[in-house]
Structure 1
């Protein structure tokens, strides 16, 4: 039987894990944004504004996701708000998370998931542009570390693995959708 200490420790562990994960996600997002001057230029115009990602339909069996809210910096990058999420963000981006397998499949395939963007129209237009146009060029980053030829081969292999994962997720989705409830 869990003790109050266990649940307090579990909550602390989950909060720390969520915080560490969000800090790294923020670094990755900023890396992708900074690689495109058009992206930072678009965001600079919104310095000081805030945006929040909302997970709609989150499965109740999964632990709740951390609060995902960012403030746009004067450099045109994102700063994660942590537990200090604004009560009234300038922009809300809602993402349907009711089917995590489908969401993962879309992410792996590079397709844009269904999002609902509400709030400031100029900021919404720029965030929508970012969602549609920014992609992480992993091969380019690897080439800086290991050289162009090995990076190309590694990227080719990862695309094959990614295609296999996409197919596995689709097959799993088909099995789940056919399972009687």
Structure 2
């Protein structure tokens, strides 16, 4: 299912996702060093099991740069590029995936392809996390960073409640759909 103006906003969203991933990676120099060894290799990230209510996001194809970061492969080139590694995220329960990510956990995923790259991507997935409090302190100073940290904790609690409510809603929808 295509969304209105998908060709306009989808590339912008994908670019922001790549920028955010690189921002998180630069906070962990060992992760950048691990990726640097795989410069030129391609990773494709795909969401599988996506529920029918929500439009399926297209796969995200990333190339490892010589700097040890990611660059997005242009959508026109994606079909011609053979990935060295496929990462499939189980998105059958988006609320649970979001809850895990908000808690600093991982979504359920499988990784196949180049063994060395798979090992390094798995290490990165297990060990690299975004620290919003550190970012806030860097930009706004320690006083505002503490307020941001408290707000983040409250946001996480709200996210838990939303995740629970969404899970119940999906369960009810699935039960009605079966009957």
TM-score when normalising by structure 2: 0.87
Instruction: Give the aligned partner of residue 120 of structure 1.
Output: 114
Output one character per residue of 1:2-55: Cα deviation in whole Å (capped at 9) or x when no partner. Answer: xxxxxx993xx2122110001011111111111211011000000000000111
Instruction: Give the aligned partner of residue 141 of structure 1.
Output: 135
Q: Give 1 or 2 for the bigger CA radius of gyration.
A: 1
Matched, 1:164 2:164: no
Instruction: Give the aligned partner of residue 25 of structure 1.
Output: 17
Matched, 1:96 2:90: yes
Matched, 1:176 2:170: yes
Alignment partners' CA distance in 2, 1:151 and 1:32: 18
Unaligned runs of 5+ in 2: none
Alignment partners' CA distance in 1, 2:146 and 2:71: 32
Matched, 1:37 2:8: no
Alignment partners' CA distance in 2, 1:56 and 1:132: 20
Deviates more, 1:55-64 or 1:71-80: 55-64
Aligned counterpart for 2:51 among listed residues 59, 62, 66: 59
Unaligned runs of 5+ in 1: 1-7
Shift in CA distance, 126/168, structure 1 to aligned 2, threshold 3 Å? same
Matched, 1:154 2:142: no
Instruction: Give the aligned partner of residue 110 of structure 1.
Output: 104
SS at match of 1:95: strand
Alignment partners' CA distance in 2, 1:36 and 1:64: 31
Matched, 1:75 2:85: no
What displacement does 1:173 show? 1.3
SS at match of 1:94: strand
Q: Is the 8 A contact 1:67 1:82 kept in 2?
A: no
Instruction: Give the aligned partner of residue 16 of structure 1.
Output: 8
How many correspondences in the alignment? 172
Q: Is the 8 A contact 1:33 1:77 kept in 2?
A: yes
Shift in CA distance, 148/92, structure 1 to aligned 2, threshold 3 Å? same
Output one character per residue of 1:147-172: Cα deviation in whole Å (capped at 9) or x when no partner. Answer: 11211122122212212221331243
Matched, 1:50 2:50: no
